Structure 1
Amino acid sequence: MLTRLFTPLDIGPATIRNRIVSTGHDTVMAEDGKVTDQLVAYHRARAEGGVGLIVLQVGGVHESARYTSHALMADTDACVDGYRRLAGTAHAHGATVFAQLFHGGAEVMDTADGSLGVSYSASAVPTERFRVFPRAMPRELVREVIDGFAAAAARLRRAGLDGVEIVASHGYLPAQFLNPATNRRADEFGGSWANRLRFLREILESTREATGGALAVGVRISLGEASDRGLGEDDALRAVTELDGLGLLDYVSVTRGTSATLAGSDHIVPPMTMEPLCTTALSRRVKQAVSVPVLVAGRINQPQDAEVVLERGDADAVGMTRALICDPEMPAYARRGDLAGIRACIACNQACIGHFHSGHPISCIQRPETGRERLYGIVRPARRPRDVLVVGAGPAGLKAAIVASQRGHRVTVYDAGRRPGGQVLLAEQLPGRAEFGGAVTNLLEEARRASVPIKSGVTVDTALVREQAPDAVVLATGARPYRPELATDGATVLDAWLVIDGARLPRGRVLVADWRGDWTGVGVADLLAERGHRVVLATTGYQAGETLQQYTRDELLRRLLRHKVETVPLVRLYGADEDTVYLQHVLTDEPVLVPDAASVVLALGHEPDVQLADALQDLAPSERPELHLAGDCLSPRTVEEAVLEGMRVGHAL
């Protein structure tokens, strides 16, 4: 069925075994600019899983390219051994390895000591997203950087890699030279189109000369930066067409967006609210214009979708990076036709790009083993199989049961609800978040394959525990909505869970009181606006959705703006009566009144459900089984922590 996806592809002197690509992405696993054991283990898992091509994260080509404190660097010979070790590991499992060569120009994030660094660009034009005002690069520095690309490529050739990719995408330095809005130079690198193209052309010329035809040399470019001041789609297409005509390219990798603006950056790692295959129309334009293979990335999460991209001729190979973060064995499952066994990415962006933005090694909320391969990459058989009773079939309980069963324990899951899934069953009902339900769909399939029985509609108490007499009990009983003491004289007040589940409110203005700043408050406000209510979202934070990953938050904020939802920041709920909601400013304690509000929806967090935990602790020592807590009953947080703790408990049993 997936005949095209598993055919080899020649890219310059390299041959990849199939058309599945892990595109370049920062893992936050480099240290002191070098490859680490953690980074090698991360890519080993994807090579073992059957990926065709691994494109390593950006390697800085010059000290001025150190865009963040955890950047991987390729600017000195000290990088060679680490790259060699990484490439050798991937090669041993059949994967081809390219590496990105990079200079971000004005797009810098942080430095090792927390101070603001000096950035350089084609011209002194400020950037919006990171609020950087760069210096115009002196001509001597321009030459140094061009030479730096070539020198870095030569080092990677010595390290045994198969190719290099010049990063001209997402508004980084080569794009800053191409773009007339950011290139106002009057020398040979500015002004005319030929001059603005010169920087990227000379990089490619010097890189090809330095590698002597031994490495594939390609370019990654955004075909449209989704910004009115970004590099235009037609100019990007013109650039790769002319460079291909000069014989400088072995392939083109197509993406969209820019790091320079908030709206443009949302396309770098498209959230679930963006359509799958959202860049394939762009890659089709490139494929029709160039003679070399074209790679494309952007919300291609399923192998059957990748096959469609290839069948339509939109590209020659398909970037499936988050799909591989979520399930590095995806290619192997797809190759043998076992599509149901694939843990499908839900594009939540929480632990992959979200971890990167917070400066932590990337992972996946569905697969916490990602980024932790050296600790949890191997499921080791239990020394003594035991009877394990898991209470709660939400993400924490299911993950604990799966891992415990894989290790040889005899596991049974009990859940009080009619359907397993916990709060995920609520989250998937919010506008634009239906895909989130895949987190439970995937866990249930894993549980089925691990032969874990799930008994729904059963409330576990101490009597049942005594009757079953398990060796260990895993409590994943979750949490319930928190409702503080409030003065609510005559007001209609409902918890967010009830509203999501279909409870109706009186017509009129609704205030949503949001404490955490996560998907609940924003999502409920969006849901109520869709139902026709006038909505006020009152949050204790600086902005709505403050704890969400930026790309996800931006799309939700766009939806609120389109629905004319009023947002009131920095307030806490104090009380309500039949026509007014009373708020209190969190900084000044001054009252803030919202008149003409018919009802209040509470999104004020959750309190752990520890009733059974307390009851079991009260049992006599001879009757008390070994107890483990995981997820919200330990402390209410997110699906990420629930699955992570479930995994840890499963390994600890």
Structure 2
Amino acid sequence: MSNDPLLQPFQLKHLTLKNRIIVTSHEPAYPEDGMPKEQYRAYTVERAKGGVALTMTAGSAAVSKDSPPVFNNLLAYKDEIVPWIREMTDAVHEAGSAIMIQLTHLGRRTRWDKGDWLPVVAPSHHREAAHRAFPKKIEDWDIERIIKDFADAAERMKAGGMDGVELEAYGHLIDQFVSPLTNELDGPYGGDLDNRMRFCLDVFTAIRKRVGDDFILGVRYTADENLAGGTDKAEGLEISRRLKASGLIDYLNVVRGHIDTDPGLTDLIPIQGMANAPHLDFAGEIRAATQFPTFHAAKIPDVATARHAIASGKVDMVGMTRAHMTDPHIVRKIIEKREEDIRPCVGANYCLDRIYQGGAAYCIHNAATGREETMPHVLDRAPARKKVVIVGAGPAGLEAARVAGERGHDVVVFEAANQPGGQIRLTARSPRRREMMSIIDWRMAQCEKYGVTFRFNTWADATAIEAENPDVVVVATGGFPSTEILSSGNDLVVSSWDIISGDVKPGTNVLVFDDAGDHAGLQAADILAAAGAKVEIMTPDRSFAPEVMAMNLVPYMRSLQKQDVTFTVTYRLEGIERQGNGLLAHIGSDYGGVSKERIVDQVVINHGTIPLDELYFDLKPNSSNLGEVDYDALIGGESQEVARNPAGRFQLFRIGDAVAARNTHAAIYDALRLMKTV
């Protein structure tokens, strides 16, 4: 038996959990037709294979038709879900883990124009800012119907082999009843705390009658909304005591905060640059006050913090959910005493932000997550050792080197700079995004482990590459800022990279023209404003920084608004000319009929990158595939066998921004799916 606190078993009623680490409920948006089919099952089972004690799946599985998902959630109100749930639970149990599912009615946290176009319901007419729908005030027959829907859905989950269900309360319909901010009903379901809690307890009563005692029931709820007029800490403690005293549930899963706005959501589920485990002590207070099994998850990204959470007695089970999206094999590596091999979560929140923008969840630097059917988390050895030469030590080049090295190839990496990182190193210059460097540091450590050779401060030309006698050459040289976009005055601008790197001193009155809409534009603006500049961010789009997405936008806005930055949308910078000691900016609009001017002393352009591809084209004539990629083989996970040039001496590929401006995840995905079959 290990004496590691994280590896101790925990008895939850009749269910023995083999260690203290859980994956809390979350919806990765992988369902097909509202069902957890092959992709969903493969993703869930991978975490079980990695050794987690309990994986909770399906954040916010819908129990009613008037709770339509606002992104791709499971539809727990359909009978057809049962066999799909059974396939998943059987596979998870076979892998040695317990599995639960989260059920909810979203209440006002959805839209009427989704699903079957039914009215949104809530205990008041108050609209939730995040989803904008004005709800119908719930009626008695709605309450009766929804309570039955919860019980029906729980029964389906038990029939599907789940070990239990968790009700999602915070921000959803149950919490909308409990919170005085959102409940304007008269009794019996409105008014004092007894009445406001009645809906929650009636739901649990109906579920318990349906599923019996040999089934785990829990609730994920806020014990402090941290919002004026809402449930405060004192009332939250009383709610916690009453939940325990009800005798209906088996554990509490505690959060702190509210999710009706993007800033509220980001404080409840913190991202990079925010404190780790900010609500852990509060969860510990709930456990101490109730002496009841307590779970908690909120930015607990590393083993040391998780170990402290258990060893200090703050919680009984610790959630490492985003961490398991980054590395599903955390527990296995702890057991094998290989904690240094755990791929670190960097808090970039690419996973959650993609969901809230209608996409599937992907980890910014583990491209196998969500693609378990085609991409490996554990790499196989290559059938034959090859010489692989990689040019560029940014995220794409380092991932290519890591994968090739782990598979047993002889790998050499050329890098013109004196250290690795590429664009990530620029990103990490901002203190709030310093965690991004872990993407590079982890890969460098893995490359060292697998014997990859690095040649820094080396400008690689075709002659130097071919002198290595490579079997495979991968060009991962990235790109350089694209600023040649104006009708006049292109020589008068600087790039966002110039500002971020510190190569150009900030002006005093600066126009940032950003039509790429990614982090670099806002990062440059933040640096400029912090230096005391008057800053205007301008975009031709109808919203600024659309590539940054909701939760990552919050810290930028908190900083930029405090510094009185101006945000201008739907206008396009067309040209610049000198005027005295300043610059005269000519501004138009894609909508037509507009001509404006601004006088500034600096113009910063953020327009993505142009590939640094000269080396690739120099090497192309001597390659066996002439640079061609078989896309069908790439997508299908098969090796590249294109042979267009019989005299060619090596295969040649390029990846990441050396192909076209994209993002970190795309660069890493390029590298993984190419190199896993070399």
Coarse TM-score class (shorter-chain normalised)? over 0.9
Q: After TM superposition, give the deviation of residue 184 of structure 1 in Å.
A: 1.4
- Structure 2 residue 185 is the aligned partner of structure 1 residue 185: yes
Matches within 5 A, 1:170-209: 171-209=171-209
Count of residue pairs the alignment pairs up? 649
- Structure 2 residue 270 is the aligned partner of structure 1 residue 247: no
- Structure 1 residues 501-520: Cα deviation after superposition (integer angstroms, max 9, x where no partner): 22352662233222211111
Between the aligned partners of 2:566 and 2:582, the Cα distance in structure 1 is 17
Per the alignment, residue 532 of structure 1 pairs with 532
**3-state SS, counterpart of residue 10 of structure 1:** strand
Which stretch has the larger CA shift, 468-477 or 540-549? Answer: 540-549
- Structure 2 residue 403 is the aligned partner of structure 1 residue 406: no
* Change in 2 beyond 3 A, CA 1:629/1:88: same
Between the aligned partners of 1:13 and 1:119, the Cα distance in structure 2 is 38
* Change in 2 beyond 3 A, CA 1:72/1:489: closer
Which stretch has the larger CA shift, 200-209 or 156-165? Answer: 156-165
* Residue ranges of structure 1 left out of the alignment (5+ in a row): none
Per the alignment, residue 285 of structure 1 pairs with 285
Which stretch has the larger CA shift, 437-446 or 253-262? Answer: 253-262
Match of 1:591 among 579, 590, 595: 595
Per the alignment, residue 615 of structure 1 pairs with 618
**3-state SS, counterpart of residue 473 of structure 1:** strand
Between the aligned partners of 1:407 and 1:288, the Cα distance in structure 2 is 49
Per the alignment, residue 629 of structure 1 pairs with 654
Contact 1:478 1:633 in 2 (8 A): yes
Match of 1:640 among 665, 668, 676: 665
* Residue ranges of structure 2 left out of the alignment (5+ in a row): 624-644
Matches within 5 A, 1:262-411: 262-350=262-350, 352-377=351-376, 379-411=379-411
Between the aligned partners of 1:109 and 1:389, the Cα distance in structure 2 is 52
- Structure 2 residue 514 is the aligned partner of structure 1 residue 514: yes
Match of 2:81 among 71, 79, 82: 79
Contact 2:223 2:240 in 1 (8 A): no
Between the aligned partners of 2:358 and 2:209, the Cα distance in structure 1 is 36
* Change in 2 beyond 3 A, CA 1:569/1:45: same
Contact 2:506 2:533 in 1 (8 A): no
Between the aligned partners of 2:20 and 2:49, the Cα distance in structure 1 is 16
Per the alignment, residue 98 of structure 2 pairs with 96
* Change in 2 beyond 3 A, CA 1:185/1:383: same
Q: After TM superposition, give the deviation of residue 491 of structure 1 in Å.
A: 9.0
- Structure 2 residue 22 is the aligned partner of structure 1 residue 21: yes
Between the aligned partners of 2:565 and 2:343, the Cα distance in structure 1 is 36
Per the alignment, residue 632 of structure 2 pairs with none
* Change in 2 beyond 3 A, CA 1:120/1:486: closer
* Change in 2 beyond 3 A, CA 1:336/1:81: same
Q: After TM superposition, give the deviation of residue 9 of structure 1 in Å.
A: 1.3
Contact 1:269 1:349 in 2 (8 A): no
- Structure 1 residues 613-648: Cα deviation after superposition (integer angstroms, max 9, x where no partner): 111224485255321111001001110110011111
* Change in 2 beyond 3 A, CA 1:69/1:598: closer
- Structure 2 residue 210 is the aligned partner of structure 1 residue 210: yes
Q: After TM superposition, give the deviation of residue 415 of structure 1 in Å.
A: 1.2
Between the aligned partners of 1:265 and 1:226, the Cα distance in structure 2 is 12
Per the alignment, residue 67 of structure 2 pairs with 65
Q: After TM superposition, give the deviation of residue 314 of structure 1 in Å.
A: 2.3
Per the alignment, residue 575 of structure 1 pairs with 576
- Structure 2 residue 166 is the aligned partner of structure 1 residue 141: no
Percent identity of the aligned residues?
28
Between the aligned partners of 2:552 and 2:106, the Cα distance in structure 1 is 23
- Structure 1 residues 140-170: Cα deviation after superposition (integer angstroms, max 9, x where no partner): 221121122222222222322222111111x
* Change in 2 beyond 3 A, CA 1:583/1:199: farther
* Change in 2 beyond 3 A, CA 1:490/1:410: closer
Contact 2:61 2:76 in 1 (8 A): yes
Q: After TM superposition, give the deviation of residue 109 of structure 1 in Å.
A: 5.0
- Structure 1 residues 538-596: Cα deviation after superposition (integer angstroms, max 9, x where no partner): 2333343321120111221111001222222233332142323414233336333333x
Between the aligned partners of 2:562 and 2:163, the Cα distance in structure 1 is 47
**3-state SS, counterpart of residue 373 of structure 1:** coil
Which stretch has the larger CA shift, 99-108 or 352-361? Answer: 352-361
- Matched to 2:223, the amino acid is L
Q: After TM superposition, give the deviation of residue 215 of structure 1 in Å.
A: 1.2
* Change in 2 beyond 3 A, CA 1:116/1:256: farther
Contact 1:491 1:599 in 2 (8 A): no
Per the alignment, residue 53 of structure 2 pairs with 52
- Matched to 1:71, the amino acid is N
Contact 2:393 2:476 in 1 (8 A): yes
Between the aligned partners of 1:544 and 1:432, the Cα distance in structure 2 is 20
Between the aligned partners of 2:314 and 2:564, the Cα distance in structure 1 is 38
Contact 1:580 1:593 in 2 (8 A): no
- Structure 1 residues 158-190: Cα deviation after superposition (integer angstroms, max 9, x where no partner): 322222111111x10000111222221224212
- Matched to 2:547, the amino acid is T
Q: TM-score, normalised by structure 1?
A: 0.94
Q: After TM superposition, give the deviation of residue 472 of structure 1 in Å.
A: 1.8
- Structure 1 residues 213-266: Cα deviation after superposition (integer angstroms, max 9, x where no partner): 101211100233344465444333322211212222211101233332232222
Contact 1:74 1:152 in 2 (8 A): yes
- Structure 1 residues 479-500: Cα deviation after superposition (integer angstroms, max 9, x where no partner): 0011216588799643222322
